[in-house]
Amino acid sequence: MTVGPLDGVRVVEISSWMAAPSAGAVLADMGADVVKVEPLTGDVVRNMSRKAKGAPDIDHSFHMDNRGKRSIAVALDRPDGAEVVRKLIDRADVFLCNLLPHRQQRYGLDPATLQARNARLVHATLSGYGLVGPDATRPGFDVTTFFGRGSITDAMTEPAGVAPMPRPAQGDHTTGIAMVAAILAGLRVADKTGAGPVVDVSLFATAAWTMASDLAPTLVDGAPVTKRDRHHLITPLGNRFRCADDRWIILNMPEVRWWTPFCKTIERPEILDDERFGSVKERFDNMAALIDIIDDAMATRTLAEWGRIFDDAGLIWGPASSIDELARDPQAEAIGLFPTIEHPEGAFRTVAAPMRITGADIRPRGPAPALGGDTVAVLAEIGYSSDEAAALSEAGVVGH
């Protein structure tokens, strides 16, 4: 028997874009009842992303980050609207938002207000830069905050190279998983103490954690990361090489174990007798010449051919896969990475949450909701009569 780890947990989410919504999607995958509160015009990213070619007119990216939720449309800037949301949060276990602190205060959704009404509430805010400090009110996206100010873009820029532009929502989804972990810990605190904590996760802090292996020594010596092009890296076996079919193969092997087998596998045993490359230090000192030799060897076979040869030799490698190759990867299929969501316009595959737990039912519970599609039902759940709900709708406080 499998169970949803968060069956019975109620989450109210007020968030847009991808980071906080992606956390809400994972909570829904775990069985939580996630009610997404949207403005009357809807989450700004509805119908913004690239549509799948040759498929029904479905915003698959929006479904990715909002699947399995319910939606109510509420005008937060109306006092009656803000009170609707507060009543909804009164019966919730978690409030998840990406509202900046001053906006939380404006709508009466700050921790002090909400936890005075619901002491066990886990109040979780996902922000750009955190809830205190000079930039607490600064908006941030993953490109500017996670990759940019979080030093990832700079660290990935080769000398004299152009700063790379990340693909959409990489930092958002990384931070979303950090938020899921924090919320689960917050629920544990509430269970143990009876008092819900304030949870604070930011793109900025998650970026620092992502860069921690480089950042840890820099915190001691203040030195920047040394930038190297592929002809001047620390080791030839931590590099990428172009194959005969213009595909790239990525290597990562400690030299002490794999140097000799590698040279023999690429059919360049003479490298082992070359005095320029006799030790790790000598290989480092003569790296450019060594990479040229390996480049010539790797250019003799295709990626698929080298992959089979490296596998037979027990070497560690990976392909620089394209996104469409990842979508067809048999290993991804084997671990259930692409589950199917049923949708009235046609079923489609999506990306699973990245964790597996024995006995736990973690899966998409359905598509993303229609804007305000659950407003009437949710209002009834929190005590509004049908006449009261109709009056709110007529006044433009809620939509459905």
Please write the tens of the pLDDT for every residue from 38-80. 998 888 888 776 666 666 667 778 888 999 999 999 998 888 8
Give me the pLDDT at residue 249, please. Answer: 96
Res 56: pLDDT? 67
Examine the domain organization and report whether 307 and 166 are in the same domain: no
Domain co-membership, 164 together with 100: yes
Same domain assignment for residues 249 and 359: no
CATH of the domain at 301: 3.30.1540.10
Is the residue at 226 inside a domain?
no
Choosing from 295, 326, 357, the residue where a domain stops is 326
* CATH number, position 199: 3.40.50.10540
| 355 & 278 share domain | no
Ranges of the chain with pLDDT below 70: 1, 49-57
Measured distance CA(108)–CA(86) in Å, rounded: 8
Asked if residue 133 is part of any domain, the answer here is yes
For residue 196, what are the contacts with CB-CB under 8 A and spacing of at least 6?
93, 115, 118, 119, 120, 121, 122, 123, 186, 189, 190
CB 37 within 8 A of CB 88: yes
Please report, for residues 92, 228, 347, 375, 378, the alpha-carbon distance to residue 67 in angstroms, rounded to integers and kept in the order given. 19, 42, 13, 17, 17
> Quick one: pLDDT at residue 379?
87
User: Alpha carbon 138 to chain centroid distance?
Assistant: 21
For 69, counting Cβ atoms within 10 Å of its Cβ (0-12 exposed, 13-18 middle, 19+ buried), the class is buried
User: Is residue 235 included in any domain, yes or no?
Assistant: no
- Nearest 5°: phi and psi at 8? 90, -10
Based on the fold, state whether residues 110 and 17 are members of the same structural domain.
yes
Summarised one tens digit per residue, pLDDT across range 96-125 is 999 998 899 999 999 999 999 999 999 999
> Domain check: are 76 and 168 in the same one?
yes
Q: Please list, in sequence order, all residues whose beta carbon lies within 8 angstroms of the beta carbon of residue 347, skipping any fewer than 6 positions away.
A: 340, 341
Amino acid 116: pLDDT: 94
14: its two tokens:
């007020």
- Convert the pLDDT of each residue in 219-236 to its tens digit: 889 888 888 888 898 899
The pLDDT of residue 387: 85
Residue 101 lies in a domain: yes
Distance of alpha carbon 22 from alpha carbon 123, whole angstroms? 17
Report long-range pairs for 355-359 (Cβ below 8 Å, ≥24 apart).
357/5, 359/1, 359/2, 359/3
The pLDDT value recorded for residue 386 is 87
Verdict on whether the full-model pTM lies above 0.75: yes
pLDDT for residue 52: 66
Q: How many of the other CB atoms lie within 10 Å of CB of 307? A: 18
User: Is residue 37 located within the same domain as residue 163?
Assistant: yes
Final residue of a domain: which of 272, 294, 326?
A: 326
31 part of a folded domain: yes
Residue 196 φ/ψ, nearest 5 degrees: -75, 140
In a shared domain, residues 308 and 359: no
Residues 86 and 158 in one domain: yes
Structurally, the chain folds into a number of domains equal to 2
Task: Tell me, yes or no, whether 72 and 196 share the same domain.
Answer: yes
Residue 173, domain member (yes or no): yes
Answer yes or no: do 192 and 312 share one domain: no
Do residue 298 and residue 371 come from a single domain? no
Tokens, residue 155? 């660290």
Q: Per the domain annotation, does 48 fall within a domain?
A: yes
Residue 37: partners with Cβ closer than 8 Å, 6 or more residues away? 12, 13, 14, 72, 74, 76, 85, 88
Q: Which of 272, 306, 326 is the last residue of a domain?
A: 326
Give me the pLDDT at residue 54, please: 60
Give dist(CA 68, CA 91) in Å, integer.
Answer: 19
Print the domain residue range for 24.
Answer: 10-213+335-399
Does a structural domain hold residue 201? yes
Choose among 372, 368, 377: nearest CA to 73.
372
